[in-house]
Amino acid sequence: MSKYVYGIDVGGTNIKFGLFLLPEMHLAHTYETETPVVDQQTSIFNKIIESITQINNEYNINFDDILGIGIAIPCPVKNDYVEHCPNLNWEDMNVSNELRKHLPKHVSVAVSNDATIAALGESQSFDKPYNSVVFYTLGTGVGGGIIIDGKILEGNTGFGGEIGHMWVSNEETDITCGCGSKGCLEQVCGTAAIFRYVKELSKDEKTSIDIKYLTVKNVFDAAKAGDSVGLKVVNRVAEYVAISASILAVVVDPEVFIIGGGISRAGGFLLDLIVDHYKKHARFSTYKIPFILAKTGNSAGLIGAAHLIKNKIQ
């Protein structure tokens, strides 16, 4: 009889489900539903159980053949415990105990932070899976996850891998990061930072970028076409990512840096610039660590969550 695990990615807006066939982890079915907004402390769990039951029924799968459920959630997690999750209005909760109340006894549950889980998903998605990676998500927020020897790094309280809050810039700024500090990677490489820098430079320099309708794509397209403002902005993103990577390289020494998130859609153009800067900043033999683009995009959470539970039950 076929056996399965679920990978579930719980976000503030949607909950995504992936049903994976063991042992080869083939993604058999996907499903997506809206995240309930009322009484989230209980309603999200009810919705998860309701959705799983519905998927099982639709594909004629017996609960006996579901061995485990992996869950990605948008906040720091330590040993399945969440102190505070503003995106889901959860407080003081053991997520796996909460979910297991509704499940047959044989079903295992594993939980971790979504960016960390995405790192695991990405690391497992290449023809030859990577064991030790640093994964970046570059977008509105800058985050990431760290996998060492196949294990996700949560740290002592769940803040391990919050690479967007590494201090990298001593540029003068009035802007304080969400974490309360200044000069975080997110504050110089996130979407808002990109737009701010375009606006600032365009006061003194001519640019083909339409300042009224700023998008990350327009900024990168302008850079690729040789626009000097676009080039400076993209170059700054690349340099700060490279500086942060050079620090992480001497801390965790990964096999590879994987670059994901909306900004990474700039592709090889951005990657090449990051590598150029990285080689200047890297110490010892860490300059050899390659950078690659993320592969799975929005499915990284599902895939990573499924691998997290697979690793737990094996």
Residues that bind Zn ion (CB under 5 A): 165, 177, 179, 181, 184
**Minimum distance between the CB of residue 228 and Zn ion, rounded to whole angstroms?**
29
Nearest to 263 by CA among 186, 202, 180, 209: 186
**Minimum distance between the CB of residue 265 and Zn ion, rounded to whole angstroms?**
24
| Alpha-helix residue ranges (DSSP H) falling in the chain | 40-58, 95-100, 114-123, 185-189, 191-202, 216-224, 228-252, 268-281, 300-313
**Minimum distance between the CB of residue 165 and Zn ion, rounded to whole angstroms?**
4
- C-beta of 14 vs 181, nearer to Zn ion: 181
Nearest to 300 by CA among 264, 261, 267, 269: 261
**Minimum distance between the CB of residue 185 and Zn ion, rounded to whole angstroms?**
8
- Are 100 and 140 in contact by the 8 Å Cβ rule? The answer is no
- C-beta of 95 vs 194, nearer to Zn ion: 194
- C-beta of 179 vs 250, nearer to Zn ion: 179
- C-beta of 142 vs 266, nearer to Zn ion: 142
φ, ψ at 84 (rounded to 5°):
-155, 120
Three-state secondary structure readout of 95-156: HHHHHHCCCCCCCEEEEEEHHHHHHHHHHCCCCCCCCCEEEEEECCCEEEEEEECCEECCCC
- C-beta of 118 vs 177, nearer to Zn ion: 177
**Minimum distance between the CB of residue 190 and Zn ion, rounded to whole angstroms?**
10
Token pair listed for 179: 């974490």
**Minimum distance between the CB of residue 91 and Zn ion, rounded to whole angstroms?**
22
Residues with Cβ within 8 Å of 119's Cβ and at least 6 positions away in sequence, in order, are 133, 134, 135, 144, 145, 146, 147, 152, 161, 258, 300, 304
- C-beta of 67 vs 184, nearer to Zn ion: 184
- C-beta of 37 vs 179, nearer to Zn ion: 179
**Minimum distance between the CB of residue 106 and Zn ion, rounded to whole angstroms?**
42
Question: How far is it, in rounded angstroms, from Cα 304 to Cα 184?
Answer: 26
How many Å from the N-terminal Cα to the C-terminal Cα in the chain? 17
- C-beta of 5 vs 237, nearer to Zn ion: 237
φ, ψ at 43 (rounded to 5°):
-65, -35
**Minimum distance between the CB of residue 134 and Zn ion, rounded to whole angstroms?**
18
Backbone dihedral region for residue 212 (phi beyond 0: left; psi -120 to 50: alpha; all else: beta): alpha
Nearest to 195 by CA among 184, 209, 206, 183: 209
